[in-house]
Amino acid sequence: MFRFASGWRRLAALGAAAACVSTSAVIIGTSGVAMADVCGTAANGTTSWSTNAPPPGGAPNWHPLRSVWVKRAPGCHDYNIVHVNSSGNYAGFLQRSNGTWFECSAGYISIPGNVTGDWVECSSVATGTHMTTDTLQFPGGVGYRVNI
């Protein structure tokens, strides 16, 4: 015959069950954070500056080319800006195997300064690809943070 636990045995069993649930929640929560950290790497840099927007499919005229990133595995398959120090228009560029650069399809996008967000510059970026960000407004470049 089955007997229900009473008194302190019952409280001990409930306490053990609660501890098990709490531990599981911590482990599950921690694994979610770890996965987010694996998807992309944050890095700080300075934008390149071009004298004019390149024609479609053309390369910018940089004065100078500054921070260049290399897409690492496993990554998120995107090149995203997560913060800029000044409001302006920013465009992501990828380098072809022949060394030329091309503008990503998002084009120049307006990003507010000193606001944390997630603006996609380039999508479906292959591991090993060189990436940079251009702006037309800041000849001296401007600080920015990316998730690569």
Two tokens, residue 84? 């800029």
User: Is pLDDT above 60 for 83?
Assistant: yes
Candidates 106, 122, 117; CA nearest to 145 is 117
Dump pLDDT digits (tens) for 3-15: 545 554 554 444 4
pTM of structure: 0.68
Q: How many angstroms separate the most distant Cα atoms in the chain?
A: 87
Instruction: Say whether 15 sits in a helix, a strand or coil.
Output: helix
> Would you place residue 55 in the very low, low, confident or very high pLDDT band (cuts 50, 70, 90)?
low
The CATH-assigned architecture of domain 40-147 is: Sandwich (2.60)
pLDDT at 85: 93
Dump pLDDT digits (tens) for 111-122: 999 998 889 999
pLDDT at 48: 80
